[in-house]
Amino acid sequence: MKKYPVVLYVFIALCAVQLAVPAVMMARWEYVSIRGEEFKFEMRPVDPADLFRGRYVSIYLDDFIVPIPEGLSLEKERYVYARIGRDRNGFGLITAIGTDEPEEGAYVKVKAQNYYEYSDKNPRAIVRLPFNVYYMNEAKAPVAESAFWLRNRERGTTYITVRILKGRGVVSGLVINGKEAEKITPEDLDRNREGSM
């Protein structure tokens, strides 16, 4: 049997690890995007260009203010688990936070810190959801952004959809003025200027 240099075996092992890292990431998130429960969160987008990670829409979601459970100190910002529920309009919201990972239901890991207001009697925390980018085709991202800024939106028509499973969340879609961002065309913008979209 032909003997190969040791360095070649080391290199093959490195290649396997280099391919395995993105492959495992893919598999994990693919699983969430197929099996996860879908939630909608209202948002406002802006459109920075980041050549390295492609053209994306920055997602700005409203912060959630939630009661701090007894025994949890949030003087310094830290990670906690947030349970996700729905409001009466079907939009996602944070129902509770805690340090223990919930055994069931939808939840994600979030950053939380104390929230102060003079009228507060019970301690509350300000919580940010970890969904901050939505990647789009470089030609379509500016069109989607223009669609967002062109028209006064009705509440509840511009949002992201997120699939959540076992503490992980994948942004699965962006809807602007009731239409999927990828399907908005420059003609839609013209129609919008005339008053309908």
Partner 1 sequence: MNVKFVRWLHAELPLLVKQGVLSQAAADRLKEHYGVPEKGGRAVLAITLLSITGSLLIGAGIMILIAHNWDGMSHFSRAMLGLSPLAAAQCLGGYALYKKKASRKWTESTAVLILMLSGSSIAIVGQTYNLGGTTWQFLVTWMALSVPLAYIFRSTLASLLCLAGTCGYFIVVTRGYEIIGDRWPYIVYFALLFAAGIPYFIMKLRENRYSVDAVLLSIGYMALITVALEGLLGYDFLNADNSTWVFAFAMLFTLFYLAGKLIAPEAPTMWQRPMQTAGGFAVMSISYLLALNEPFHIRWDGSLEYASVAAFVVFCAIAAGLALLIYRARSEFPSPIALMPVLFAAGYFLNRGIKSDMGMIVLFNIFVFAAGVAVFLMGARSMNMQRINAGMFLVALMIVSHFFTTEIGFLAKGLVFVFLGSAFVATNIILIRKKRAS
Chain positions contacting partner 1, by CB under 8 A: 4-5, 7-8, 10-12, 14-15, 17-19, 21-23, 25-26, 29-30, 33, 50-56, 76-79, 111, 130-138, 140, 170-172, 182
Cβ contacts of 171 within 8 Å, gap of 6 or more: 59, 131, 133, 134, 160, 161, 162
Residue among 10 and 65 whose Cβ is closer to partner 1 = 10
Shortest Å, Cβ 194 to partner 1: 27
C-alpha to C-alpha distance for 178 and 157, rounded to whole angstroms: 5
* Closer residue to partner 1 (CB): 130 or 151: 130
* Gap between the terminal Cα atoms of the chain: 70
Give me the amino acid identity at 110: V
Task: Give least dist CB 89 to partner 1, A.
Answer: 23
Closer Cβ to partner 1, 80 or 84, answer by number: 80
Shortest separation between residue 12's beta carbon and partner 1, angstroms: 7
Nearer residue to partner 1 within complex by CB, 151 or 172: 172
CB of 98 to partner 1, least distance (A): 17
In angstroms, the CA 80 to CA 100 distance is 8
Of 136 and 164, nearer to partner 1 (C-beta) is 136
Alpha-carbon distances, residue 75 vs 12, 44, 52, 113 (angstroms): 48, 29, 35, 6
How far apart (Å, rounded) are the C-alpha atoms in residues 45 and 51?
A: 18
How far is residue 49's CA from residue 47's CA, in Å, rounded to a whole number?
7
The two tokens of residue 94 are 């944070």
Q: Please, what is the minimum distance in Å from the beta carbon of residue 119 to partner 1? A: 27
Q: From the centroid of its chain, how far is CA 57?
A: 11
